Amino acid sequence: MTADDPALPDREALLALAVREITAAWASFDRPRPKEAVLDEALLQRLLDPLPEAPGDPAEAMHDAARVLDASISPARPLYLAYIGSTGLATGAMASALASTYDVNLAADAAAGEFLDGQALRWTADFVGYPHADGAFTSGGQVSNLTALVAAREQALPGARERGLEGRRGAVYCSREAHHSVTRAVEITGLGTASVRALEIDGDRRVRPELVDAAIAADRAEGITPVAIVATAGTTLTGSVDPLAALADVAERHGVWLHVDGAYGLPAARTVAGAPLFAGLERADSVTLDAHKWLGVPKSCSVLLVRDDGALQASFGHRETYMLHRGDAHNPVDRTLEYSRPFNSLKLWMALRVHGGAALRAWIERSMRHARRLADVLDADPAFEILHRPQLSALCFRHRPDGVPGLDEHNRRLAQAIQADGRVYLAPAAVDGRVCLRVCFVNFRTTDEQVDDVVAVIRELGDRLTM
């Protein structure tokens, strides 16, 4: 090994150090901590240092990296309830380390990796109860939704991938509370933001199918081609699941692609509590799921499943002189947008292989129970107002103590105080223009007792603000 060789002289020692740091991190995730960690001044100064030209101590670098991560906001902690984060599932973390070590690229022929990738797709489809014929693992819900809408565009506007829209106009129909990745995907497909029909919701915060039906009819009358209906299976704000069966009826009546954005909520599709919300899922043309959300594996790991075996190939397949095909076989990249696609499926495959579907569903059921438990506690306290009943595991509510004017500002300040305190981490949100507190339970570590602790912390800090 030469002096400028990047290989480490003592790999075993560094691996042992990594094991110690990871073990310490996992132990810290098992319980809420009393406050958020902060970096000391010496490390902050080192993070301002210029590029080193000389080699450094790998052990010191590893230790500094671990301290930076520990002082970052980690969704793996049991009372991290903001947004919808991954939860540090150990099996996924180990698979991620293995995948990074071998660095298999699922763009061209990946030999044995393709067999495991295919099995992970089949297992995911079985886990949620969807009759998939093809699919792909992607970097996240944005790319999964984009991939689905590109396939829908090619079906609705044939030849668009080669010749563009050629003056044709298309439209995509969704709830006004659909994730913004849908709008971004529509922009990237060339249809434009103005082609998104963000429609009104009902009392359960679900898109109204009759409005979708009417919008499609109106667009057709104007010469606009309906490209896709996007149903949200677990909105980010409130966890609401659009009425899939009714939307499937609309899609079939008009011959329009139905895509289900289940990035957050789809893992609940075959749970006892969640299954009724997902009636009609099997009729969708495509569905997405982010395993780095409610299935806990490390980012990034998103799944797209489609019902038609040829839809992805028709939208992304190609032949290049630098990436030869074996006969008529397709390369993995012919099913998706991304070339340098890491072995994301290994993380979910490992989780499903080791834990099994029943254990993961039990954890999801428990998360849903936590949201209902919190709603019941808050419902009984006149100092709180619930803004919607939880369908999955998300809940938005307001603290409204007597005599406090300006509830929007009070709840914004309360969210900031909770984040600064560190015992619980949640986020502010707005429901129908009202600033509120939002929690989302997706962590397998969270216990029933810790749900009660959430209420105690919010009461304590809310009362402190009103003194």
Residue 76, pLDDT score: 87
CB count in 10 Å sphere of residue 320 = 10
Residue 221, exposed/middle/buried by CB under 10 A (0-12, 13-18, 19+)?
exposed
Residue 325, pLDDT score: 56
pLDDT per residue as tens, the chain (467 positions): 455 667 777 888 888 988 999 999 998 888 887 777 889 999 999 999 999 998 888 889 999 999 999 888 888 888 999 999 888 899 999 999 999 888 888 766 767 888 899 999 999 999 999 999 899 999 999 999 999 999 999 999 999 989 999 999 999 999 999 999 999 999 999 999 999 999 999 999 999 999 999 999 999 999 999 999 999 999 999 999 999 999 999 999 999 999 999 999 999 999 999 999 999 999 999 999 999 999 999 998 999 999 998 888 877 776 665 555 565 556 677 678 777 778 899 999 999 999 999 999 999 999 999 999 999 999 999 999 999 999 999 999 999 999 888 999 999 999 999 998 989 999 999 999 999 999 999 999 999 999 999 999 999 999 999 87
Q: Which CATH architecture has domain 358-466?
A: Alpha-Beta Complex (3.90)
pLDDT digits 0-9 by tens, 223-244:
999 999 999 999 999 999 999 9
Strand-pair partners of 302: 138, 290
Torsion of the alpha carbons at 378, 379, 381 and 385, rounded to the nearest 10: 80
Strand-pair partners of 453: none
Closest CA to 381 of 454, 439, 467: 454
Do residues 399 and 384 lie in contact, with contact meaning Cβ atoms separated by under 8 Å? yes
Do residues 370 and 377 lie in contact, with contact meaning Cβ atoms separated by under 8 Å? no
Phi, psi of 155, rounded to the nearest 5 degrees: -75, -45
Residue 310, pLDDT score: 85
Residue 322, pLDDT score: 52
Strand-pair partners of 201: 207
Strands 257-261, 286-290: pairing is: parallel
Alpha helix segments (H runs only) across 103-208: 112-128, 141-156, 160-163, 180-188
Residues of the chain with CATH 3.90.1150.170: 358-466
The CATH number of 95-355, from 3.40.50.300, 3.40.50.1220, 3.40.190.10, 3.40.640.10, is 3.40.640.10
Residues of the chain with CATH 3.40.640.10: 95-355
Residue 419, pLDDT score: 92
Closest CA to 454 of 413, 404, 395: 395
Closest CA to 199 of 185, 210, 186: 210
Whole-model pTM: value is 0.92
pLDDT digits 0-9 by tens, 93-118:
999 999 988 888 876 676 788 889 99
pLDDT digits 0-9 by tens, 317-375:
766 655 555 655 566 776 787 777 788 999 999 999 999 999 999 999 999 999 999 99
Q: CA of 112: how far to CAs of 40, 105, 169, 176, in Å? A: 46, 12, 43, 43
* Residues sharing a CB contact under 8 Å with residue 225, sequence separation 6 or more, in sequence order: 156, 157, 168, 169, 170, 171, 219
